[in-house]
Amino acid sequence: MIRLFRLLLVLLIALGVRAASAQMSIAMNALDLVDAKIDYQADYALTSGSQHFHGKVIHAPGRERWEFLTGSGQQVLLLRRDIDEAAMLWPERRWYMSTSFTMMSGLMGGLGTDLLHGREAGLEKLNGEAVTRYHVDKGAFVGDLWRTSDGILVKAAGVVTYQGSPTQGELVLSNLHRVKADPSLFVRPQDYFGIPLKLGK
């Protein structure tokens, strides 16, 4: 669970860059403004160092579902900022692990309080979407971000520094669809067996 959270660190920091106006610099909290304000789903490819994940992401304000395959089968990561819960599900085994989103963010080096500093770097087309590219030059993430006009991050590429160690990372969304998410997809099944983790205590 912690390994995937570290891989998603690129995503979580990058998504913090939200409502920057045209031709203005940005300096904002990396998690306070993490959510796009609309529902969407997309395929994703995430690279962090030598590790690679790909799958499907489903997003609604305050809620995200990341689906992917590993050698042990399908896994699902639920991020629930609205109820302060993060859970990893193993559907084939009907098993889960969970902890608070706040606690996991803290283990990621105080992610929720980190400030990113950057500037607009131009308008581009990416996978058929009109996007604004931002260059972030100060913070735990340094690199480039590509966002749509309605606040969806479709690409992030750069270097994430975690506990003093830099890692090259890239996140790319494709097959983006703005559709209403099924609320049940963000709910941890009640008949799964698992354990809540009190990490950091």
The boundaries of the domain holding residue 30 are: 2-177
> What is the identity of the amino acid at 171?
L
Domain membership flag for residue 132: yes
Q: What does the pLDDT read at residue 172?
A: 93
Per-residue confidence (pLDDT) for residue 15, from 0 to 100: 44
Residue 154 domain flag:
yes
CATH code for the domain in which residue 45 is found: 2.50.20.10
Residue 146 lies in a domain: yes
Inter-CA distances, 150 with 143, 155, 173, 198, 200, Å:
21, 14, 15, 36, 36
Mean pLDDT of the chain: 77
pLDDT at 57 over 50: yes
The predicted structure's pLDDT at residue 20: 37
Domain-located, residue 62? yes
Neighbours of 55 (CB within 10 A): 18
Q: For residue 173, tell me if it sits in a domain.
A: yes
Q: How is the chain split among helix, strand and coil, in percent rounded to 5?
A: 15, 55, 35
Q: pTM value?
A: 0.81
In a domain, 197, yes or no: no
Alpha helices in 8-81 (DSSP H): 9-14
CA dihedral for 153, 177, 71, 188, sign (positive or negative):
positive
For residue 14, the model assigns a pLDDT of: 42
Q: What is the tens place of the pLDDT at every residue in 103-157? A: 766 655 555 545 566 688 889 999 889 998 988 887 677 888 888 988 888 998 9
The residue count of the chain comes to 201
List all residues 6 or more positions away from 165 whose beta carbon is below 8 Å from its beta carbon: none
Considering the domain boundaries, does residue 195 fall inside one? no
pLDDT confidence of residue 180 = 97
Domain count across the chain: 1
Mean pLDDT of the 166-191 span: 93
Tens digits of residue pLDDT in 70-93: 777 889 989 888 898 888 899 998
- pLDDT digits 0-9 by tens, 18-28: 333 334 455 54
C-alpha distances in Å from residue 23, one per residue of 36, 120, 123, 135, 184: 21, 6, 11, 12, 40
Is residue 26 within 8 A of residue 32, CB to CB? The reply is no
189 occurs within a structural domain: no
pLDDT score, position 103: 72
